């Protein structure tokens, strides 16, 4: 009964936290940042900051600079609020652009290298000549909202690139889906103004609370299960291997992953925190725990425990190493790295691994050979080195 409860708990945690959104991978984010850095250096050399709004690129640079300095008044000048629906007639441009910045950061990063630095914008993208596409943000499973830059009159006889009113009209809907709770906004206003690894002030506080809560739940659960295990004669030793160390770490990292997913982090913050890596770390502890538990369960039930223990220990070590390698490859693949490149690297690394695990492999092969050949058995009188006696 106890075993079923533990397995049910594990299965529930494993199935939680699945996300269906097609977000950029770690590799895509890092490569986009690298390309954008080159564009930013070039823009600095050409002093594009002195010409905001003249091209799609200069508008994006102006929005980035205003967002970094929390200057929403300046940023609000780059959103087109003309011809919005009647229920948005009193919409504040500063508030709209601030909300759009939060929503955008949760789903996309700007690839400055893809933006046009010509006043006409991209003319071969299949869009009207006065529009360029920054990216899209999913509203629900079936619909995505395009984020357009649009060339509009500047009121002085010229034209300027702004966030399109075709995008601005959907910001309230997007905020309903991805926006922050009003309590969180009030908390943000009362906390010192700081950022850490692209986390906002309230997100840092929230992360610390999640870490503390996850640790309390994990080790509280460990304490309860250890008490329950002491009452079980049949599974005491094998369950102790599962519950004592691996189980609380699995619960901790899984709860941490679930909590981080609900913090509304930006894409860049997720790269540093690496939400998916937390899930893979939790899975690693779960798999290692399963290996420990199953081998302990097998040894506890086998009639020839003395023989099997010599085989199981090195086999268990090899299985753990293989499990860690497989999970690491899966995580790197999900992060956007080429599986063929990874496997080629493992081909070289496997040689080093084989050399490092040489003694373990020798012990495992030797144990299997002794078990199959059985040159000596319990009750035999023999001499091994300087030791003489009867095998027990």
Taking only the tens place, the pLDDT of each residue in 344-378 is: 665 555 555 555 556 665 666 666 666 555 666 66
Other beta carbons within 10 Å of 183: 9
Give the 3-state secondary structure of residue 384: strand
Residue 283's φ and ψ, nearest 5 degrees, are -65, -40
pLDDT per residue over 242-266, tens digit each? 788 788 888 999 899 888 888 888 8
Tokens 């095998």 found at = 391
Looking at residue 163, what is its pLDDT?
Answer: 95
Q: For residue 85, what are the CA distances in angstroms to 38, 153, 169? A: 40, 20, 7
Nearest C-alpha neighbor of 360 from the set 315, 298, 308, 299: 315
Range with lowest mean pLDDT among 78-92, 200-214, 230-244, 366-380: 366-380
Range with lowest mean pLDDT among 69-78, 136-145, 222-231: 222-231
Domain boundaries, the chain: 26-179, 198-390
Q: Which helix (DSSP H) or strand (DSSP E) does residue 262 occupy? A: none
Dihedral in degrees, nearest 10, Cα atoms 57, 62, 68, 72: -130
What is the number of H-type helices and E-type strands within the chain? 16, 5
Looking at residue 370, what is its pLDDT?
Answer: 61
Residue 35's φ and ψ, nearest 5 degrees, are -65, -40
Segment 122-131 shows an average pLDDT of 91
Q: How far apart are the first and last CA of the chain?
A: 36
Which DSSP symbol is given to 195? -
**DSSP sequence for 206-239:** HHHHHHHHHHHHHHHHHHHHHHHHTT-SSSHHHH
Give the integer Cα–Cα distance in Å for 309 and 296: 9
Q: For the range 295-304, what are the long-range contacts, defined as Cβ-Cβ under 8 Å and sequence gap of 24 or more?
A: 296/237, 296/238, 296/241, 297/235, 297/238, 300/237, 300/238
């Amino acid at each position: 009964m106890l075993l079923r409860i533990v397995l049910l708990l594990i299965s529930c945690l494993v199935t939680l936290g699945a996300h269906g959104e097609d977000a950029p991978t770690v590799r895509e984010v890092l490569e986009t940042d690298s390309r954008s850095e080159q564009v930013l250096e070039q823009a600095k050399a050409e002093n594009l900051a002195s010409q905001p709004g003249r091209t799609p690129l200069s508008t994006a640079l102006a929005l980035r600079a205003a967002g970094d300095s929390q200057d929403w008044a300046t940023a609000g000048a780059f959103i087109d609020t003309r011809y919005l629906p009647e229920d948005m007639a009193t919409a504040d441009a500063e508030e709209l652009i601030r909300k759009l910045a939060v929503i955008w950061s949760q789903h996309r990063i700007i690839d400055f290298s893809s933006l046009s630095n010509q006043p006409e914008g991209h003319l071969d993208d299949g869009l009207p000549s006065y529009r360029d596409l920054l990216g899209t943000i999913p509203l629900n499973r079936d619909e995505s909202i395009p984020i357009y830059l649009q060339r509009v009159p500047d009121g002085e006889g010229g034209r300027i690139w702004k966030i399109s009113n075709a995008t601005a009209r959907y910001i309230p809907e997007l905020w309903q889906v991805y926006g922050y709770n009003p309590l969180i906004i009030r908390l943000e206003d009362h906390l010192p103004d700081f950022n850490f690894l692209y986390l906002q002030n309230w997100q840092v506080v929230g992360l610390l609370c999640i870490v503390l809560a996850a640790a309390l739940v994990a080790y509280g659960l460990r304490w309860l299960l250890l008490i329950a295990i002491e009452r079980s004669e049949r599974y005491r030793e094998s369950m102790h291997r599962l519950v004592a160390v691996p189980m609380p770490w699995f619960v901790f990292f899984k709860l941490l992953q679930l909590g981080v997913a609900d913090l509304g982090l930006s894409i860049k913050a997720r790269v540093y925190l690496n939400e998916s890596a937390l899930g893979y770390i939790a899975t690693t502890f779960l798999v290692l725990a399963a290996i420990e538990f199953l081998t302990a369960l097998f040894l506890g039930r086998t009639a020839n425990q003395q023989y099997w223990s010599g085989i199981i220990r090195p086999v268990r070590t090899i299985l753990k190493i293989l499990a860690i390698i497989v999970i690491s490859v899966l995580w790197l693949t999900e992060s956007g790295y080429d599986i063929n490149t990874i496997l080629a690297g493992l081909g070289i690394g496997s040689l080093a691994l084989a050399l490092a695990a040489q003694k373990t492999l020798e012990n495992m092969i030797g144990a299997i050979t002794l078990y199959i050949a059985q040159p000596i058995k319990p009750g035999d009188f023999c001499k091994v080195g300087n030791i003489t006696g009867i095998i027990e």
